[in-house]
A and B are shown apart, each in its own frame.
Chain A
Amino acid sequence: MRYIDYMQLNPFQRFGYNLGKFFKKLPSNLARFFKFLGRAIVGFFVGIGKGIANYGKRFVKGDAGVKLSYLIFGFGNMVKGQVIKGLIFLLLEAAYICYMIFFGWGYMSKFGTLGTVKATTTLDPDGFPVTIPGDNSMLILLYGVVTIVISAVIFVIYIANTKSAYKQYEAKKNGEHIPGFKEEMHQFLDEKFHISLMSIPCLLIGCFTILPLIFMILIAFTSYDNAHLPPGNLFTWVGLENFKDLVSITEGANKASTFVNLAEWTIIWAIFATFSNYILGMIVALMINKKGIKLKALWRTLFVVVVAVPQFVSLLLMNQMLQTNGAINQLLSVITGAHQEIQFLNSTPLMARITVIIVNIWVGIPYTILITSGILMNIPADLYESATIDGAGPVKSFTKITLPYMLFVTTPYLITSFIGNINNFNVIYLLTNGGPSTEQFYQAGWTDILVTWLFKLTMNNQDYNLAAAVGILVFIVCATLSLITFNATKSAKDEEAFS
């Protein structure tokens, strides 16, 4: 279709046309995604190959100074007059060697087995028990990861050092000016300003996000559960054993059946929580924004206040109100005239689950109102007018105009909130703490979702390996969903539209 034809369509036809185009293009988009993935992998290996080739080339072409800097960091810079820069390189090398000798290597050498010597207790000559410390698998794993990360950083610095040495060598050969230390520092405020801006945040993220993440991912492949707790016991690598535990279903209250049950409930929960909030919230937002309704700000504030109150306050309050002697039962007693003691959270699984979803509606609808109000007002009014003329009532307008339009515009938000609900720790933990409890599940109650199970596994039962495996599986689901969303949003492609 040509642009001029497209412009002549009414908004509704445009929407249909775009929707059709989206689905028509879906297979080719998917194909492009995988092609891109393949290219990225190939590109990665080509990059490594090129890196090695350049590394060799620099060594062969460079002079003695460059060659020596392959062993002694910063040597090439020092002989070319960049003494301070060279010294910094050298200092880093010395620090790394010291670290490896006195600390890192001891842990690295045991990384393959995670320790072989158990702590033992013997009696000393006076008859008092003495503990001879053995290997601590947890610390070996943790410091092993730390050492690997540090080594990777040093490797990058090492390559930078050879590059820098070769660059100064070429500059000297061609008779160019070799910048002094002050000049180079000045570059960090201008051409290399991104390095000055990013280094501290990257360091923090590396220490407190990436490093722990690697550690936890590795734990999923070990036997670090409550039967193998350091320092008394050792744990070791077990490969994919934990993932097998999660999917091999046998009779009884085991890990696999718990996992399957909780995964099922997690998905049911996420679907109900997302769509109930989305649709009901939109209806309320429509009512508030309807033409002729006054006091719009007041109505909106009434709902938004619920968003503003910290979630733990509102959820703890709700938990208390839903107790047998809580406010809801008191209210019911007043209304019915008879004493009521309904157990909302601790009787049957179904009752608890429905209560959780309803309370979540109370928590969640205001978010939807907050977010959709602006978008709802952008729906062209002529759509509704023509629908009314054609005899459509409010329900029909909603299902045929509002919902399709909103679904199209807010799909990314919908998927984000779906992921948010899969990870919705607060509502479940603070409201029911997973209850009602049951013997059928391994360390979980009827309303536990996967992330609260993960939390309980680590905090109450110390099954770190299982928790890490669950975490990885949840991550894979969420990451796939987010990647699809991100690819679908336009802002990723149009980031320079305004500049």
Chain B
Amino acid sequence: MIKSYKLRRGLANTFIYILLAVLGIIWVSPLAYLVIQSFNTGKEQIPQTLLPMAYGFDNYIALFTNIGSLNFPRWYLNTFVVACFSCVISTISVLMVAYAFSRLRFKSRKKFINVGMILGMFPGFMTMIAIYYLLKAMGLTQTLVALVICYSAGAGLGFQISKGFFDTIPRALDEAATIDGANKNQIFWKIILPMSKPIVVYTVLTSFIGPWTDFILAKIIMGDARDNYTVAIGLQQMVSLEFKTRYFKQFLSGSVLVAVPVTILFLKMQSYYVEGVTAGGVKG
């Protein structure tokens, strides 16, 4: 009896191993294809075989030296600069709002929280046309400043996850500090923030990754100003009908260069990501 149970379990596990291996290959193979083909040095722009005939760094070199109308290094720099600035601004505003909602008690706090939630439910790009005209009135369209403003202006609305984190820090700490004569400003900077390193890291990483992955907003704001593109619209431009026959392999190598750092950052913070998405649902 015991033997047959063991046998059955062994069979089931073997079956699961095979299934997982097959699924794993299916899931990873498109990405593997991307990486392998990015080293393809064959003559044809659009690879005609599943595996390249010859390997080399030609596509990567071309990406940085063969700068015609598509300036990938410039886009990379643009995205990096935008990401840095919007990361700083959004991190600060998210943490400030989250702290105020979580630790401070003031009139109409609940109303503010509810309004914030409802505002978050509008489809994001419904407002983009209006934002476009506002920026145009300020003379900012097609600039990187406009992108920074767009990415970081609404950041305060994403307070939920950080608020959830601050909620778990015992209030007794605040009270003790108040008795010792600290005001709320000092409590925020000297007690709560140093204790909240994980959530600060999470906020910094998400807001840094944002500009690397956003597509629509950048497209609306930048229009045809190719020099100010970010990597997302730039790479899409490379596979558009106009450029595909000349730039396809550079698109592959460019995608690898964008995907690698973002992937590493994401894998670092995946546990926070899970907490963030499931926050609220699982508790209690």
Given A205-B154, A287-B16, A306-B27; A212-B134 close (CB under 8 Å): yes
Instruction: For the complex, give the distance between the alpha carbons of A489 and B123 in Å.
Output: 22
Given A204-B154, A413-B281; A471-B117 close (CB under 8 Å): no
- In the complex, are the beta carbons of B130 and A215 less than 8 A apart? yes
- In the complex, are the beta carbons of B263 and A370 less than 8 A apart? no
B168 contacts partner chain A, Cβ-Cβ < 8 Å:
yes
Interface size on A, residues (CB 8 A): 103
A349 contacts partner chain B, Cβ-Cβ < 8 Å:
no
- In the complex, are the beta carbons of B183 and A193 less than 8 A apart? yes
A354 contacts partner chain B, Cβ-Cβ < 8 Å:
no
B268 CB to nearest chain A CB (Å): 10
- In the complex, are the beta carbons of A471 and B274 less than 8 A apart? no
A200 contacts partner chain B, Cβ-Cβ < 8 Å:
yes
Interface residues on B, range: 35 or more
B32 CB to nearest chain A CB (Å): 10
Instruction: For the complex, give the distance between the alpha carbons of A477 and B41 in Å.
Output: 50
Given A307-B266, A310-B212, A371-B278; A209-B127 close (CB under 8 Å): yes
- In the complex, are the beta carbons of A479 and B213 less than 8 A apart? no
Q: Which residues of B contact A138 (CB under 8 A)?
A: 133
Instruction: For the complex, give the distance between the alpha carbons of A467 and B274 in Å.
Output: 34
- Give residues 159-197 of A contacting B (CB, 8 Å): 189-191, 193-194, 196-197
A459 contacts partner chain B, Cβ-Cβ < 8 Å:
yes
A426 contacts partner chain B, Cβ-Cβ < 8 Å:
yes
- In the complex, are the beta carbons of B185 and A308 less than 8 A apart? no
A473 CB to nearest chain B CB (Å): 10
Instruction: For the complex, give the distance between the alpha carbons of A498 and B264 in Å.
Output: 33
Instruction: For the complex, give the distance between the alpha carbons of A499 and B16 in Å.
Output: 44
Main SS at interface, chain A: helix
Main SS at interface, chain B: helix
Given A193-B185, A198-B100, A478-B121; A212-B259 close (CB under 8 Å): no
Supply 21 A–B pairs (Cβ within 8 Å), ascending by A: A142-B133, A142-B137, A189-B186, A194-B104, A194-B109, A197-B99, A205-B153, A205-B154, A213-B130, A292-B13, A303-B24, A307-B266, A307-B270, A310-B262, A330-B50, A362-B26, A412-B280, A425-B125, A429-B216, A474-B123, A491-B281
Q: Which residues of B contact A (CB under 8 A)?
A: 9, 12-13, 16-17, 19-20, 23-24, 26-28, 30-31, 33-34, 46-50, 93, 96-97, 99-100, 104, 106, 109, 112, 117-119, 121-131, 133-134, 137, 149-150, 152-157, 164, 167-171, 183-186, 188, 212-213, 215-216, 220, 232, 235-236, 239, 248, 251, 255, 258-259, 262-264, 266-267, 270, 273-274, 277-284
Q: Which residues of A contact B (CB under 8 A)?
A: 138-139, 142, 189-191, 193-194, 196-198, 200-202, 204-205, 207-213, 215-216, 219, 284, 287-288, 290, 292-293, 299, 301-314, 316-321, 325, 327, 330-331, 334, 362, 365-366, 370-371, 374-375, 394, 409-413, 416, 419, 423, 425-426, 429-430, 451, 454-455, 458-459, 464, 467-468, 471, 474-475, 478-479, 482, 486, 489-492, 494-499
